[in-house]
Amino acid sequence: MENFTFYSPTYFVFGKDGENKAGSMVKRFGGSKVLIHYGGGSVVRSGLLDRVKASLKAEGIEFTELGGVKPNPRSGLVYEGIELCKKEQVDFILAVGGGSTIDSSKAIAAGVLYDGDFWDYYCGRTIEEALPVGTILTIAAAGSEGSPDSVITRESDMMKRGASGDAIRPRFSILNPALTQTLPPFQSAAGITDIMAHLYERYLTNSVDVEVTDRMIEALLLTMKHEGPRVIADPDNYEARANIMWAGMMAHNNSCGVGRSQDWNSHNIEHELSALYDCAHGAGLAVTMPAVFKYVMKHNIMRFAQVAVRVWGCSMDFEHPEVTALEGINAFAAFLTSLGMPRNFEELGAKEEDIPVLVENLCCGNGREGTISGFVTLNKEDCTNIYRMMV
Ligand code: NZQ
Ligand code: ZN
């Protein structure tokens, strides 16, 4: 196990009716003038936004609001939010929605206290200072409710990049699984896929003797394997929703990733797809991961064989461990398809002729010089081959 520091200060409120505590939570963490930030309208239609406002009013907390965050959130609304916060002297940002809303909130929170262009943070500068952010989560997926990360797409060139820093870890996150019962099945499945991707990105490590985190990841993958189909079959299954929601947080607040190197090549390769085609991040990952895994499998066959046996129930072929490894990848891909996720470029809405553009955007610009690195380092030719495997 490698040396690490781990700081996870988020206060979690988990369970039914948690949103009614929004006002007391904001107060507890020092907010007096709040920006309520939300997406394309699901929180308006469900009545959640009204309940949150009522909770703030009950505590005498002033607020202003900014809706309209799109999935794969854009820089334009971030700039708008920064200006609004400065004008209204906002001191706390409350994200009500999914990963896109939370990430846009984090970007605004960092941008308000920064003299330069907030995009600097998305080019490798660590976020050291930000307004406090609280979240009320409506989809189990990105894990942004407990993570120090934010992913934004710059509209001028559709560059999708991440920024990071403990300063943007939410002060509190309200997780009410019942709020996720209104999700369309496709979004539930995309969320399940993203959660499993966050686990695989950490499982694919070059560190040795990381038994505790290996076992934690496997436990969470087994949970997703059990609960995912139950939620797709019965969207109102509160208990399954609850297990998935907590697994989504555990998968990405990095408690399963400490002390080990991590991959993130699948995420980087996928981000170009959701940037160019505006597809759901989880759907893009469903197409990306099997291709990446098959391409890099040889780097450490036993890692893939281990997850195949421990999670996917494959029998170990000691003479040909590559057979077991591949069986595990195929079982994972078939699982994602059974949830309703796309299998290839065509089903995702991607085009083979765009591969050179995808590779160029992936490997160049914003600090990248022809390669991306993780479990293995991939150059442009590797990335081209991987995108071709998805066609
Ligand atoms: O915008 P509204 O109207 O709210 O609709 C959303 C949106 O269309 C809808 N939705 C959310 N909750 C709902 C609901 N519809 C009905 N009922 C509900 N309860 O679902 C759609 C997707 O929402 P979005 O916020 O985009 O989903 P997700 O949480 O998957 O976030 C995706 C974004 O997070 C980034 C992704 O790249 C993508 O941009 N990621 C962020 C990470 C982080 N900050 O740590 C890590 C991840 O790997 C990921 O990259
Ligand atoms: Zn993800």
Q: Are residue 130 and residue 236 in the same domain, yes or no? A: no
Q: Are residue 55 and residue 115 in the same domain, yes or no? A: yes
Which residue is listed with tokens 């934004």? 152
Q: Do the beta carbons of residue 302 and residue 321 sit within 8 Å?
A: yes
Q: Cα-flanking dihedrals φ and ψ of residue 279, to 5°?
A: -80, 165
Which whole number is the average pLDDT over 243-257?
98
Mean pLDDT of all residues belonging to the chain: 97
Predicted pLDDT at 364: 85
Per residue in 7-18, pLDDT tens? Answer: 999 999 999 999
Closest CA to 307 of 293, 320, 319: 293
Q: Do the beta carbons of residue 327 and residue 314 sit within 8 Å?
A: yes
Ligand nearest to the CA of 187: 1
Closest CA to 259 of 202, 215, 198, 199: 202
For residue 4, tell me if it sits in a domain: no
- CA–centroid distance, 224 to ligand 1, in Å, is 18
Output b/e per residue, 124-135; b: 16+ Cβ within 10 A: ebebeebbbbbb
Which residue is listed with tokens 């080990």? 260
Domain residues for the domain of 189 are: 184-389
CA distance 93 to 22: 12
For residue 20, tell me if it sits in a domain: yes
Q: Is the CB of 374 under 6 A from ligand 1?
A: no
Q: Are residue 174 and residue 207 in the same domain, yes or no? A: no
Alpha-carbon distance values, 277 to 291, 303, 309, 323 (Å): 19, 32, 35, 34
Which whole number is the average pLDDT over 243-254?
98
Hey, what are 193's tokens?
Answer: 């896929």
Question: Residue 305 pairs with which residues in a beta bridge?
Answer: none
Q: pTM for the complete prediction? A: 0.98
- CA–centroid distance, 267 to ligand 2, in Å, is 6
Per residue in 147-195, pLDDT tens? Answer: 999 999 999 988 899 999 999 999 999 999 999 999 999 999 999 999 9
Burial class (CB in 10 A: 0-12, 13-18, 19+), 308: buried
Confidence of residue 338 (pLDDT cuts 50, 70, 90): very high
Percent of the chain with pLDDT over 70: 100
CA distance 131 to 108: 8
Q: Which of 100, 238, 264 best tests ligand 1's pocket when mutated (most atoms within 8 Å of CB)?
A: 100
Helix (H, G, I), strand (E, B) or coil at 159: strand
For residue 105, tell me if it sits in a domain: yes
For residue 218, tell me if it sits in a domain: yes
Ligand nearest to the CA of 271: 1
Which residue is listed with tokens 């040909």? 320
Per residue in 363-376, pLDDT tens? Answer: 987 678 899 999 99
Nearest CA to ligand 1 atom 25: 98
Number of domains in the chain: 2
Q: Is the CB of 48 under 6 A from ligand 1?
A: no
**181 CA closest ligand 1 atom index:** 19
72: alpha, beta or left, given left = phi > 0 and alpha = psi -120 to 50? Answer: left
Burial class (CB in 10 A: 0-12, 13-18, 19+), 209: exposed
Q: Are residue 156 and residue 205 in the same domain, yes or no? A: no
| CA 16 distance to own-chain centroid | 23
Ligand nearest to the CA of 77: 1
The contacts of residue 289 (CB under 8 Å, 6+ apart) are: 197, 200, 266, 332, 333, 336
Q: Do the beta carbons of residue 143 and residue 253 sit within 8 Å?
A: yes
Q: Are residue 189 and residue 73 in the same domain, yes or no? A: no
Q: Are residue 169 and residue 244 in the same domain, yes or no? A: no
Q: Domain holding 308: CATH number?
A: 1.20.1090.10
User: 179, 213, 248 — which closes off a domain?
Assistant: 179
**Count of alpha carbons within 13 Å of 361, Cβ hemisphere only?**
21
Q: Is the CB of 283 under 6 A from ligand 1?
A: no
User: 135, 151, 179 — which closes off a domain?
Assistant: 179
- CA–centroid distance, 197 to ligand 2, in Å, is 6
- CA–centroid distance, 182 to ligand 2, in Å, is 21
Q: Are residue 170 and residue 194 in the same domain, yes or no? A: no
Predicted pLDDT at 365: 73
Which whole number is the average pLDDT over 282-297?
98
Q: Are residue 95 and residue 239 in the same domain, yes or no? A: no
Q: Are residue 157 and residue 40 in the same domain, yes or no? A: yes
Confidence of residue 299 (pLDDT cuts 50, 70, 90): very high
Q: Is the CB of 191 under 6 A from ligand 1?
A: yes
- CA–centroid distance, 258 to ligand 1, in Å, is 25
Does residue 242 register a pLDDT over 80? yes
Q: Are residue 209 and residue 130 in the same domain, yes or no? A: no
**191 CA closest ligand 1 atom index:** 30
Q: Domain holding 107: CATH number?
A: 3.40.50.1970
Predicted pLDDT at 274: 95
User: 122, 145, 179 — which closes off a domain?
Assistant: 179
CA distance 328 to 330: 5
For residue 55, tell me if it sits in a domain: yes
For residue 6, tell me if it sits in a domain: no
**Count of alpha carbons within 13 Å of 177, Cβ hemisphere only?**
18
Predicted pLDDT at 369: 87
For residue 307, tell me if it sits in a domain: yes
Q: Are residue 156 and residue 189 in the same domain, yes or no? A: no
Predicted pLDDT at 239: 98
Predicted pLDDT at 249: 98
Nearest CA to ligand 1 atom 28: 99
Q: Which of 43, 122, 133, 151 best tests ligand 1's pocket when mutated (most atoms within 8 Å of CB)?
A: 151
- Beta-carbon neighbour count of residue 226 at 10 Å? 12
Q: Are residue 71 and residue 84 in the same domain, yes or no? A: yes
Closest CA to 102 of 155, 147, 166: 147
Does residue 206 register a pLDDT over 80? yes
Per residue in 103-131, pLDDT tens? Answer: 999 999 999 999 999 999 999 999 999 99
Q: Is the CB of 365 under 6 A from ligand 1?
A: no
Which DSSP letter does residue 300 get?
A: G
